[in-house]
Amino acid sequence: MPLKRINSAAAIAVLAAALATPSLAAEPAGAPVADFTLANGLELVVIPDHRAPVVTHMIWYKVGAADETAGKSGLAHFLEHLMFKGTAKNPTGHFSQVVASVGGQENAFTTNDYTAFYQRVPSEKLKTAMEFEADRMTGLQLTDQVVLPERDVILEEQNQRVANNPRARLGEQIDAALFLNHPYGKPVIGWRHEMEQLSRDDAIGFYRRFYAPNDAVVVIAGDVEPETARKLAEETYGKVARHNNILPRQRPQEPPPVAVRSLTLADPRVEQPVMQRAYLVPSFHTAKPGQSEAIEVLAHILGSGSNSRLYRALVVDKPVAVMAGASYDSFAFDMSKFGVFGVPHPGVSLPQLETETDTVIANVIAHGVSAEELERAKFRMIADAVYAQDNQVSMARWYGSAIMTGATVNDVRHWPDRIREVTVEQVQDAARQWLDKQRSVTGYLIKDVSPQAEKKS
């Protein structure tokens, strides 16, 4: 489920007060989130939160797996790993050592649309973290001695996340079938045969092409004032030169989907079959105003939690499933996915479960949702946003992933208002327009019982 949050911790009180009123009155939360850009093009977002003397410092690069050249799948993520291998100024491990010595945490993550690195450190170490990140923005040094073992690490990561996990394998196949032309169809971790060939030169070439201040956003949540953050950023990041050849992200786009697609993955380890479907739908970035918010509400009513349509119909009332739900992530630079899944009850076949699932969806398309369902969903979604503000990392990730996928700080700030404006008609329209099977791929995960099954993995 995409985590949706609003504004900074300082706005919690205001928002909760708004929530408490039965009418869910709109109450724009004027949070002091600062957003500014340095002379070299680096954007900074500062979310002050002074409850504890710590900061979460994240640098987000506007480059992800969807920006890899053909044949180099997994390269964006591989480079993420290699970014920890040191620079001329700070040899391998030095940055991590300094972070650890102050009790800090660090990590990094890669998706289709972005690559991000972060540290959580005591507030007085913010400048140190910025110095290190500014240094490795252009100073990375790689040798085969560190690159080759790390390639083995990402191959083990692929084993752990995907090869050893039949449900993850099904997910890869659905994405590959859903996106006919767009690179979102490739796994972020990569296809193994291509990962095995990734080289030092591939990584350095990708790095030089995309890592630059004017292709990055720094998000800082925590115990710092925006003016202080700006000063520290100018002294560190400000010294890195702008890259003059960063091109806007233009990936091959999807043609209109015209075929109902279905696929079956048989794996000898499957003890619990699963039906999973993905529809091609707009993201916040590609949608018309209000569209993606209606889809978010639709996903909540249809498939979030035990009051949802799918759970009640398929798990409680019939029951044909032991579990069922739906999901939607509005944060993608290009088109996004609306997911539906069900785990069948013993004795129920996947086609039966699919038919029952279609009935639930058809009912929402034909009759819409009730006003009560709509209000409950909105209340719950906005309350999740209030709760999430208790968590600095969630806040930084929310702003970061929004900006990386084409939204602005203001878009994030006004998300609760836009959710409040969604009507029952819009939810029904969203279901009618987007939950069309021609836009979808349905995947079955079943047990492979063929005699050769032993050899396949």
Name the token pair of 288.
């018309």
Closest approach of other proteins to the CB of residue 154, in Å: 8
> Among all chains, which residue has been given the structure tokens 């252009």?
138
Of 343, 260, 265, 257, the residue nearest 303 (C-alpha): 343
Strands (E), 29-84: 34-37, 43-48, 54-61
Query: 57 near 121, Cβ under 8 Å?
Result: yes
Distance between CA atoms of residues 327 and 339, nearest Å:
5
Does the annotation mark 354 as catalytic? no
Of 387, 407, 409, 424, the residue nearest 3 (C-alpha): 387
Choose, by CB under 8 A, the member of 5, 7, 12, 171 that binds other proteins: 12
Candidates 92-100, 196-204, 334-342, 413-421 — which segment interacts with other proteins by CB under 8 A? 92-100
3-state secondary structure of 353: helix
Degrees, nearest 5: CA angle 74-77-78: 80
Report which residue type is found at 428. Q
Closest approach of other proteins to the CB of residue 339, in Å: 19
163 is an interface residue for other proteins by CB under 8 A: yes
User: In sequence order, which residues have a C-beta less than 8 Å from that of residue 433 and are 6 or more positions away?
Assistant: none
The site string for other proteins over 19-38 (x = CB under 8 A, - otherwise) reads: xx------------------
173 is an interface residue for other proteins by CB under 8 A: no
91 is an interface residue for other proteins by CB under 8 A: no
Query: Which positions from 189 through 228 interact with other proteins, judged by CB under 8 A?
Result: 189
Phi, psi of 284, deg, nearest 5: -55, -40
Which is nearer to other proteins, 13 or 366 (by Cβ)?
Answer: 13
Choose, by CB under 8 A, the member of 25, 260, 316, 371 that binds other proteins: 316
Closest approach of other proteins to the CB of residue 367, in Å: 20
Query: 416 near 385, Cβ under 8 Å?
Result: yes
Choose, by CB under 8 A, the member of 231, 380, 425, 438 that binds other proteins: 380
Closest approach of other proteins to the CB of residue 242, in Å: 27
Query: Which positions from 245 through 304 interact with other proteins, judged by CB under 8 A?
Result: 268-272
Choose, by CB under 8 A, the member of 144, 156, 227, 425 that binds other proteins: 156
Question: Of 43, 80, 354, 356, which residue is the catalytic one?
Answer: 80
CA distances to 16, 289, 290, 295, 423 from 432, in Å: 33, 17, 15, 11, 14
307 is an interface residue for other proteins by CB under 8 A: yes
Name the token pair of 441.
């791929």
108 is an interface residue for other proteins by CB under 8 A: yes
395 is an interface residue for other proteins by CB under 8 A: no
Choose, by CB under 8 A, the member of 26, 28, 141, 150 that binds other proteins: 150
13 is an interface residue for other proteins by CB under 8 A: yes
Report which residue type is found at 229. A
Query: Which are the catalytic amino acids?
Result: 80
